[in-house]
Structure 1
């Protein structure tokens, strides 16, 4: 049922966002050198590494670490980068990862390949058995501002409570957070 929901969500989203996807791609291409998409190595279900696309918001010479770990992340942003992040438009290409089955709409956000502490805790508590999501329970309850143990605690809570109704609640909470730009620094 969850996979069917994910596929319907992606198809509906492609129809709604096809023009914004094209416009963002053109803006990214025209405002900075490098590819339109950034393919990030992420940890998926059962700790399998997959390539997750995002619209590129950082310069091509940016170190491959979580943005909040950069000393001055703003110096690496492309001209439209801040807007794309605050509006979450940079996340739209992840619809491809949902379509391919590497991600789902709601689940724990996929860890970067080098976030060993997060990966280890998720594995310890069985969260690695879940397919990562475009949004998730931890995402709507603090995003990157959460310490890793709190994030994993929320991921575990999601694993225990997951249902179509709970996913719908998280999607609605995500829309509100995106519109308010809550928890977004850059």
Structure 2
């Protein structure tokens, strides 16, 4: 039976959302120059539209529009079909992803209330029917710009391990935990640059569901 998530303390109940709003506003104001520079570079190197938008499931599986700077070209074969991700993902796109600059526009999703600074990453809508009951619990809270799974392997760990970490976060949301994830995210994005890709794909293999153990 699906149970509704209950905040576990004052931080999650009263403080987390105001901090999200403050951080998103501060990022947009302080880094407005960076938004402009990245937008111009994306337009020159990858074309338009500058922003990539896609439906993603949020809290309680409510669908919202996710905003990101595009990192791939729209290259297609002779039949009009899009080429694979590893072909369309350019060196510039890889740099945006490695530094997480492609995710700057998600600050607007945070302001709107679609997302939080920290939480399980919002994935594809088509994955919703594939989750088991435990994995589905990742949608009991707002998805995040970064999350516990992102600082513990990002795209280099299996889907099952990633979802396990997401649910662990849902059950243990604390101020110090969020601060630790933010610090670890900055370190991994700008210093270590770990876990950007899986071992067999340019980003992450498609989730096809978890096999049920007999």
Q: Same fold (TM over 0.5)?
A: yes
Query: Deviation per CA, 1:76-115, whole angstroms, max 9, x where unpaired?
Result: 0246212111111001000010000000000000011122
Alpha-carbon distance in 1 for matches of 2:133, 2:56: 14
Alpha-carbon distance in 1 for matches of 2:175, 2:85: 36
2:49 matched residue in structure 1: 35
- Kept in 1, the 8 Å contact 2:73–2:90? The answer is yes
Q: 2:85 aligns with which of 65, 73, 78?
A: 73
Query: Deviation per CA, 1:96-135, whole angstroms, max 9, x where unpaired?
Result: 1000000000000001112246x62366552211100000
2:172 matched residue in structure 1: 161
Q: 1:112 aligns with which of 121, 124, 134?
A: 124
2:132 matched residue in structure 1: 121
Alpha-carbon distance in 1 for matches of 2:60, 2:22: 25
**Corresponding residue SS for 1:80:** helix
- Kept in 2, the 8 Å contact 1:37–1:55? The answer is yes
TM-score (norm 2): 0.76
Alpha-carbon distance in 2 for matches of 1:53, 1:86: 17
Residue 143 (1) aligns with residue 154 (2): yes
CA 1:123–1:36 in 2, change beyond 3 Å: closer, same or farther? farther
CA RMSD of aligned residues (A): 2.1
**Greater per-residue helix proportion:** 1
TM-score (norm 1): 0.87
Residue 2 (1) aligns with residue 13 (2): no
Stretches of structure 2 lacking an aligned partner (at least 5 in a row) = 1-14, 77-81, 203-214
Query: Deviation per CA, 1:43-83, whole angstroms, max 9, x where unpaired?
Result: 11111111101001012357xxxxxxx99533102462121
Stretches of structure 1 lacking an aligned partner (at least 5 in a row) = 63-69
